Amino acid sequence: MKRVCVCIAAVVYAVAGVAFGPALADEPEPIRIYVDEYAEGQVMSHVAKKVIESEYDIPVEFKNVAVGPAFLGVAEDERSLFLVAWLPRTHGAYMERVGDEVDNLGELFDGARLGWAVPAYVPEDELGTIADLGKADVRERLDGTIQGISAGAGLMQVSEEVIDGYGLDDYRLITASSAAMTAALKRAIDDEEWIVVTAWSPHWMWERFDLRYIEDPDGVLGGREHVDAIASKPLAESAPEVHAMIRRMHYSLDQINAALVDAEETSDEAAAQTFIDEHPEVIAEWVGQ
């Protein structure tokens, strides 16, 4: 009896191998999306994941890293994306390092901006420009600190240049996560204290708080930026439909801002699904329908 069972099992296994083996073998390799802590990158990455998996039946995995490793990862991986390349200024040094090894798939949205921001109640005639930070009374009100984000962020590198360029050697640039930065901003606003934060647009904090950028008369922070998608070069051949879809992927600033507010109130994944549900015509355009 045991021999019969074994034989039957062997036949079933063999048939299953014939029936299911090729399907398993043909299952596509996952596409890896590198994700850093930029809020807009989190949401856009979740949108891309959902669209790729639903439209092309290709699995997508996330790799959470800092900005530098994201650029290097896309250059080294064969099936990967990074959807938050701030150019030409913020991530320009990273792009120069890997530019020949990645494909720039174009602009995801325009009108991005970097800067240092303060709550609107901080008098503009006392702190209207970065140069005003050199005033002794302003430095005292700020306790000699600028609230920053993570150390590897391009904005932090640019902010170090701002400190050097404006001679703000008496200030300390605080390294923290983006969440810690917005938490510090909220605490300061709740107490109506002065605070300067490293900021960027789009971000949900502009919808939540009444803020303004302080002027940068020397232009150290640079001008307007655009946010691009980059892909590993082999992706064009191994997943041409995904490559083409990301090339067509584009958001308006209003769409991004609304999604970021939604994500802050719910989650990145939930906000991504809401965006997809509310903009079927946009998704259809991306996938070429």
pLDDT tens-digit readout, 54-81: 999 999 999 999 999 999 999 999 999 9
Rounded Cα distance between 77 and 155, Å, is 25
pLDDT for position 239? 97
Rounded Cα distance between 48 and 60, Å, is 9
pLDDT band at residue 286 under the 50/70/90 scheme: very high
Is a pLDDT exceeding 90 seen at residue 124? yes
**If you average pLDDT over every residue of the chain, what do you get?**
90
- 66 φ/ψ sector (left φ>0, alpha ψ -120 to 50, else beta): beta
Let me know: does 79 contact 112? Beta carbons within 8 Å.
no
pTM: 0.79
Q: Domains of the chain, with CATH numbers?
A: 32-112+224-286 (3.40.190.10), 113-213 (3.40.190.100)
Report, as an integer, the average pLDDT of 196-220. Answer: 94
Residue partners of 2: CB distance under 8 A and separation at least 6? none
What single DSSP character describes residue 131?
G
pLDDT band at residue 22 under the 50/70/90 scheme: very low
pLDDT for position 39? 87
Quote the tokens at residue 32.
Answer: 């890896």
> Cα torsion at 90, 93, 96, 101 (round to 10°)?
-80
Rounded Cα distance between 62 and 69, Å, is 13
- 109 φ/ψ sector (left φ>0, alpha ψ -120 to 50, else beta): beta
Is a pLDDT exceeding 90 seen at residue 15? no
pLDDT for position 12? 41
Q: Which residues share a beta bridge with 80?
A: 32
pLDDT for position 132? 98
Is a pLDDT exceeding 80 seen at residue 199? yes
Report, as an integer, the average pLDDT of 128-151. Answer: 97
Q: Are strands 197-201 and 102-119 parallel, antiparallel or unpaired?
A: antiparallel
